Structure 1
Amino acid sequence: MTTTKTDERALAELQREHGPALFHFLLGLTFGDRQRAEDLLQETLVRAWQHPEAFDGPYESMRPWLFTVARRLAIDARRSRLARPAEVSDAGLECAPAGADTTESAVAALDVREAVRALSPEHRSVLVQIYFRGLSVGETAEVLGIPAGTVKSRSHYALRLLSRNLPGYTRRPSRERTVVGASCV
């Protein structure tokens, strides 16, 4: 099929002759997505229409040229899709969990900081070492230069003072004790 000008008849014949095979090829490249395969087929035919010189090529059939163009378009479309953020539908938004409201934890952290500041320096230093720096009783005693028994009693009385000054404060029974909502002093 040699022609110097791409006319509608030539394109219709091209589509009839190579369209089904090209569509099947594109269906495989798009992992069965019929809509994408149809779009890519149409884009391939548009490219053929834009390049009438392809009809006058040295080859007997346009099929290799069409398949090359279609494959390149499929690759470009995939790269383009991967470069964009994924689209989110309304249904996806309805199922997404609501963002955490950090207001309560921020208020609790402020309350804890204020309550810790109200402690005596001795009590505060023990709590800072044990609960904020994660040291053991022995390590805290060594850092502060006081006996381990003193660390235990100061920790006990400091926590009792905090429980009075902080509504809703409870001491965790596990070995890892933390003051609720506190991240630093």
Structure 2
Amino acid sequence: MRTGVAFDDVLAAAQAGAAWAFETLYRDLAPAVTGYLRLHGAAEPDDLASETFLGVFRGLSGFAGDEDALRSWVFTIAHRRLVDDWRRRSRRPQLTDDADLALLPGGDAEDDALTRFGTEDVHRMCAGLPDDQRSVLLLRVLADLTVEQVATVMGRSVGSVKALQRRGLRALRERIENSSEETLRSRVPLDARPAMTGMR
């Protein structure tokens, strides 16, 4: 826990109904949960995050485990809410607006990506990945879950998660390299580029 209070103490207090303890858990996990939902294209990521934490609050008294297990459990609930959202939206199509995309919550990996590429670029790169690869990468980076925890959240084997992660990272690396080359080409003045003779 970032508060300096031991996780076990916060968990026990939250399970006993202490508002401050649940608020501590919420503040610790909500930014990553909301960012995960947002990057997955949830129509209303804040609403889904609220639904997620409502589910956490309802089930917290029966939870047993350490801090890592709690993170896995919370992201499992968030992932299920996201799947429900996708199913609901697939039954009634809605228009989306790119202007609705907001910045991700802070974090080293996200900050690095956002400073190197714009928010729209990061969203586009992740959005182009297959859903399962995108889920694995977002859960690993944004939610800071282990491979084993991601496997639990997604209901997959550890080997499957590792393979999805490898493929997703390879695809992102190719996109980043291509994006970097395009950026370099666009910055070189036309008169400094090699002449292309014989081409029409």
Larger radius of gyration: 1
Structure number with the higher helix fraction is: 2
* TM-score of the alignment, normalized to the shorter chain, above 0.5: no
TM range (shorter): 0.3 to 0.5
